[in-house]
A = this chain, B = another copy of it.
Amino acid sequence: MSIKVKIVNDPVYGFIRFPEPELVRVIDHPWFQRLRNIKQMGLAQLVYPGAVHTRFAHSLGACHLMGKALDELKAKGIIPGKDECLAARLAALLHDVGHAPFSHSLEEELVGISHETLSRIIMRRMDTEFGGMLEKAIDVFDHSASPPALSKGDGARYLHQLVSSQLDVDRMDYLNRDSFYTGVSEGVIGYDRILQMLTVRNNELMVEEKGVHSVEKFIIARRLMYWQVYLHKTVLGAEMLLINIFKRAKELVRQGIELFASPALNYFLKRHLTEDDFIKDPEHLIKFCELDDNDVMVSIKVWQTHEDKVLSKLSKMLILRKLYKVVLSSENLAGILGDKKEQAKSLLGLTDEEVPYFAFSGITSNSTYNINDELIKIETKSGIIKNITEIDDSLVNQTLARAVHKNYICFITPNSALEELTF
């Protein structure tokens, strides 16, 4: 039986093709199909109702952009071989396969280890299942982890950079896709032009000098998306609420209190696992791969009527979209937190131990361009290689390179006033 070429109609890029049978096998795997039920932007849909797209679509998109990048490099005579191309496409396809439900928000509270680590574990498990088909893809994905000198796949360093760096297909796809689905045009990037300007020198990915402006635009688009979308204060508040719900739920389970949950969710409510655990006992991973956003949402819906006041109140706040009031500021907010705690205490009749669920502070930060990370390299017309920050009149300078930290406090009010621009 011949497996046909898969063609997907993607609203962002149009028809995209997956002619490689290896890709099709991965896409059809239940662990990849699971990504259909994990929203790319988690709770951001509470502010941007259009943004309900999935990690499944994002992963296909990243794999598609990888294909376009490789085509460009081939056209320039940089000849990644057929095997390397397939490996890079597979790595792009699988880069997010280890995401927990609601991605970043819950990975620490619910699972305990990072999605990158889980992606790696899943890829290895799938590789065994597929008889070594993913070996090279894992090399591409893992590259940065190994000390450069010993790395076996040194010739393909740029492939790893395409999968994971400050200018990778992951970021290119998510900026485009998230802009498309939120309707925030600020995030649209000229990915076509960036791809066209990619080149390779000494096995490192770089950008031709005439592409500098497009890269600047890319970095700034990312910055704007952070402040306007990803760290939007209402989204931040919703994510903190979700985290608190699970913190409380796990605490109750620890105390032996019964909670409604799907079998897979129940499994994780009862455990706190380490990377080691996952490696030793394959059952953990199997359970993990049964989890998706639906388990989380159904449980929270049921928990609205749980007898624990904290859990039921928090759950109601999320389901009815009566979120925390959030203040986000570059100034220190400690001064007003005390009042907010008192207010919460009296509003809901809380104990001291319960108050922090309803009034608390934190710090959020965002580096648009991290100068401690691997830098974006530019090849000038005269063949000299510079970091993008060294280019004359580059926008990617101190301002952008400095991480921006903001303080926030979350609390409840008598009115639970709704935020603007949100439902």
Contact = CB atoms under 8 A, between A and B. Distances in A.
A207 to B, nearest CB: 14
A213 B217 contact: no
Interface stretch (A108-116, A160-168, A291-299, A342-350): A291-299
A308 to B, nearest CB: 17
Interface stretch (A3-11, A83-91, A118-126, A237-245): A3-11
Interface stretch (A133-141, A142-150, A270-278, A414-422): A414-422
Interface residues of A, number: 86
A117 interface: no
A218 B77 CA distance: 37
A186 interface: yes
Contacts of A188: 185, 188
Contact of A190 (B54, B180, B186, B320): B186
A227 B8 CA distance: 17
Given A1-B417, A400-B395, A11 B181 contact: yes
B184 A321 contact: no
Given A11-B181, A49-B54, A399-B395, A213 B190 contact: no
B8 A262 contact: no
Interface of A: 1, 3-12, 14-15, 24, 27-28, 30, 33, 36-37, 45, 48-50, 52-54, 56-57, 60, 180-186, 188-190, 192-193, 196, 213-214, 216-217, 220-221, 223-224, 227-228, 260, 262-264, 290, 292-295, 297-298, 301-302, 319-321, 330, 392-395, 397, 399-400, 402, 404, 415, 417-418, 420-423
17 contacts: A1-B415, A9-B50, A11-B50, A15-B196, A49-B54, A60-B423, A185-B192, A186-B213, A213-B223, A217-B221, A264-B301, A292-B301, A294-B298, A295-B301, A298-B298, A330-B392, A399-B399
